[in-house]
Amino acid sequence: MDWSQLWEITSAPDNVPIVAMLFLVPFFTWYGLRQAVANDRLIAQLEGDAQLAKTHHRKTQPWRPGWAKELHVWPFLMRIEFLAAVLVTVLLMVWSITLDAPLEEPANPNLTMNPSKAPWYFLGLQEMLVYFDPWIAGVLMPGLIIVGLMAIPYMDTNPLGSGYYTWRQRRFAIAAFIFGFVILWVAMIIIGTFIRGPGWVWFWPGQTWDHNVQVFDLNRDLHEYFGITSAAGKFIFGGAVVTLYYLVAGWVVHKLITWNEFNRKIYERMSLIQYLTLQFFLTTMLALPIKIILRLLPIHIKNVWVTPWFNV
C-alpha cells in the first residue's frame, strides 16, 4: 500500500476539488434524502387518514395557525445571502492562500506529459475514450448527455414531488438520476483522477504509479468470437447485436417503468413520444456501463459493431 503515492495524488492542488467532491456529493445526497424520508413519513401519515389530509399542515417544516406564511426578503433572505457570500469569500481566500494553482512547464508540442489529463470535470469524458471511438466519447455522448438533461422535464409525467424532497413518490426518477450523476458521472471523474495513472493504465489506490509498467490488453471485437470476417458480415452482425441490445435493454427498462402500481399509473400518463424518448436515453445510458463491463470481463470486447465509417 503506497501511501505516499496516494497522498501525492490527493494533495495535488488541482485534485483538491475532487477530494472535496468525495465528501460533498455523498453529504448532499444524504442531506436531501434525509428530508425526503421525513416528507415520506408525513405523506404516509396523511394518506392513512383522509381527515388529517384535509386539515393538517402539509409540510414537515413547523407552522402554527397565526404564523405568517411569508417573510420579508429584507432582512431575512438578504441576511442569509450576505452571510453565504461572506462564508464563500472566506473559504475561497483561505483556500487561495494555502494552495497554489498549478503551473507546469511552458507548452511544448513535442513533449506530452504522462499522464495527460483533461480538467477534472471532463475526466468522465476522457475515461469514456477508453471504451468508445473519439467521436462517440467526445461528441456524441456529451451531446446526448446535454440533450438528455434538457429533455428531463418533458419526459417526466409524474406530478408528485414538485417542490419538496421525496423518495417514495419519485423512486424511478431519483434512482435514474443518481445512477447517471453519482454512479456514472462522478465515479468516472474519480476513476480518471485517482485510478488512471501513466499511460492511462489502471492503478488501484495505493499502487505506485509505475511509468514503465507493461500492460498487455488483448482486446477483441465481438464478431471475432463468432468467426465473421467479411465486411458485410461484420456490418450485419454488429447491427444485429446493437438492435438486439436495444430490444433487450428496452424490455428491461420497460419492466422498471411499469414495476409497480404507482409506476404504471405514471406510465399511463405518458404519450408515445415521451415514452420512446425516455426509453432511448435510458437504454443508451445503460450502454455505457455495459460496454465498460464487456471490456473488463475476460472476453475483453473492444467493439460490438464494426463498420467502415464508425465503430461502437
Number of residues that bind other proteins (CB under 8 A): 121
272 is a contact residue toward other proteins (CB under 8 A): no
- Binding to other proteins (CB under 8 A) within 283-312 occurs at 309-310
* Contact pattern from residue 81 through residue 100 relative to other proteins, giving x for each residue in contact according to CB under 8 A and a dash for the rest: x-xxxxxxx--xx-xxx-xx
Rounded CA gap, 47 and 41, in Å? 10
Query: Which of these ranges, 125-133, 204-212, 220-228, 243-251, lies near other proteins under the rule CB under 8 A?
Result: 125-133
Rounded CA gap, 271 and 70, in Å? 38
φ, ψ of residue 311 to 5 degrees: the values are -125, 145
Nearer to other proteins, 24 or 296 (CB): 24
- Binding to other proteins (CB under 8 A) within 130-159 occurs at 133-135, 137-140, 146, 149-150, 152-154, 156-159
Question: Cell 381527515 appears where?
Answer: 51
CB of 273 to other proteins, least distance (A): 14
CB of 25 to other proteins, least distance (A): 8
259 is a contact residue toward other proteins (CB under 8 A): no
φ, ψ of residue 307 to 5 degrees: the values are -130, 165
Q: Go through 46-78 and write b for each residue having 16 or more CB atoms within 10 A of its CB, e for each that does not.
A: eeeeeeeeeeeeeebeeeeeeeeeeeeeeeeee
- Binding to other proteins (CB under 8 A) within 162-201 occurs at 162-166, 169-170, 173-174, 177, 181
CB of 298 to other proteins, least distance (A): 30
Instruction: Assess contact for 173 and 160: CB atoms under 8 A.
Output: no
Rounded CA gap, 249 and 255, in Å? 10
Instruction: Assess contact for 278 and 155: CB atoms under 8 A.
Output: yes
CB of 163 to other proteins, least distance (A): 3
54 is a contact residue toward other proteins (CB under 8 A): no
Rounded CA gap, 128 and 208, in Å? 23
CB of 270 to other proteins, least distance (A): 9
Q: Which of 9, 124, 126, 303 binds other proteins (CB under 8 A)?
A: 126
CB of 287 to other proteins, least distance (A): 18
* Contact pattern from residue 62 through residue 81 relative to other proteins, giving x for each residue in contact according to CB under 8 A and a dash for the rest: xx-xxxxxxxxxxxxxxxxx
CA neighbor of 202 nearest in space, from 312, 305, 292: 292
Q: Which of 9, 120, 184, 193 binds other proteins (CB under 8 A)?
A: 120
CB of 48 to other proteins, least distance (A): 10
26 is a contact residue toward other proteins (CB under 8 A): no
141 exposure class (CB count in 10 Å sphere: 0-12, 13-18, 19+): buried
Q: Which of helix, strand or coil describes residue 150?
A: helix
Rounded CA gap, 155 and 276, in Å? 9
269 is a contact residue toward other proteins (CB under 8 A): yes
